[in-house]
């Protein structure tokens, strides 16, 4: 996943139904001698609207919690879409604009408190490691860098087949990937993780070798490819600027139908368009183990 030099300003056209990070705060500087517990947090996506419905599909959202021994304060850190999932997954077709218009950014959110009931009810709240205040402060610097340079949300993982060793064409970039990067950073700083099973959700498309199509200018610009531009617009046409999660799923199934019937998918990744020659089983939601990381430095605590 490509890193960018800065985060672009958001266009006023992009409106979020739910405010991004409403109670967010700056990451505090911890005292070096503090001992901080680190918690793995996981619960079904959109649980606040649908209860455990998506838990049964194993479509989960991941976060990380911290508890300071010196102050007793708890904190939650997560990474998610600025304008909700539908906008990150599909573009808007705006009148008078040839190119599909993307409202797609993801970012980290940090706030005081851990909503124990939310994470425990249908999910997970478990201690995974203990770190020093120094390590926490170094992690905070890394989060700032990660947040400023890894700006686009990517829903899909794309690989050649369901086989574990199959070629990975494109990797997703979403909430769980941020948590895995955070754990890895802590491990590299010396954190030693407990030996517990940790599973994550992936939404995988299966495709033959992707074909590079170009960027917005080369396809939709004055010298662009009119036929290809029309095909991409047509592919995305079932999608409306989403208001409800239900509408998002209705549209999602419309596009899945096209994928199954026509074996094709147009992917927008790192500001470039690709054609995916889709193949069976086309799409899978998997919930599989990704082990906690092993660090590269001497350990601190357990």
Catalytic residues: 61, 175
CB 23 within 8 A of CB 104: no
Cα dihedral 215→219→224→226 (10° resolution): 180
CB 130 within 8 A of CB 66: no
Give the pair of three-digit tokens for residue 97: 């604009």
Give the pair of three-digit tokens for residue 292: 């906690």
Residues whose CB is less than 8 angstroms from the CB of residue 133 and which lie 6 or more positions away in sequence, other chains included: 30, 31, 32, 33, 34, 35, 36, 68, 70
Residues whose CB is less than 8 angstroms from the CB of residue 222 and which lie 6 or more positions away in sequence, other chains included: none
CB 33 within 8 A of CB 41: no
Query: Which among 152, 268, 262 has a CA at the least distance from the CA of 220?
Result: 268
CA angle 24, 203, 60 (to 5 degrees): 45
Rounded to a whole number of angstroms, the distance between the first and last alpha carbons of the chain is 32
Per DSSP, the three-state class of 301 is coil
| Tokens 């030099």 -> residue | 5
Query: Which among 84, 93, 81 has a CA at the least distance from the CA of 238?
Result: 93
Task: Give the Cα separation of 118 and 122 in Å (integer).
Answer: 7
Backbone phi and psi for residue 253, each to the nearest 5 degrees, phi listed first: -70, -30
């Amino acid at each position: 996943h490509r890193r960018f030099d800065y985060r672009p300003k958001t266009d006023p056209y992009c409106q979020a139904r739910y405010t991004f990070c409403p109670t967010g705060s700056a990451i505090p500087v911890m005292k070096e001698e503090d001992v901080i517990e680190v918690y793995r947090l996981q619960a079904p996506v959109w649980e606040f609207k649908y209860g455990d419905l998506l838990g049964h599909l194993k479509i989960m959202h991941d976060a990380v919690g911290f508890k300071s021994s010196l102050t007793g304060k708890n904190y939650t850190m997560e990474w998610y879409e600025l304008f909700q999932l539908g906008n990150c997954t599909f573009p808007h077709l705006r009148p008078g604009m040839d190119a599909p218009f993307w409202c797609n950014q993801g970012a980290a959110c940090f706030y005081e408190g851990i909503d124990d009931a939310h994470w425990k009810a249908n999910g997970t709240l478990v201690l995974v490691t203990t770190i020093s205040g120094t390590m926490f402060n170094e992690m905070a610097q890394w989060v700032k860098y990660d947040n400023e340079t890894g700006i686009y949300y990517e829903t899909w993982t794309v690989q050649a087949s369901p086989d574990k060793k199959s070629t990975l064409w494109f990797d997703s970039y979403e909430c769980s990937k941020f948590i895995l990067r955070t754990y890895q950073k802590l491990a590299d700083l010396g954190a030693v993780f407990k030996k517990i099973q940790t599973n994550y959700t992936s939404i995988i498309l299966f495709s033959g070798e992707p074909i590079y199509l170009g960027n917005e200018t080369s396809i939709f610009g004055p010298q662009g490819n009119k036929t290809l531009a029309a095909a991409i617009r047509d592919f995305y046409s079932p999608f409306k600027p989403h208001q409800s999660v239900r509408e998002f799923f209705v549209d999602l199934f419309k596009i899945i139908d096209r994928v199954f019937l026509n074996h094709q998918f147009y992917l927008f990744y790192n500001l470039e368009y690709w054609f995916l020659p889709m193949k069976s089983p086309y799409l899978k939601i998997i919930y599989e183990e990704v082990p906690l990381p092993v660090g590269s430095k001497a350990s601190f605590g357990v």
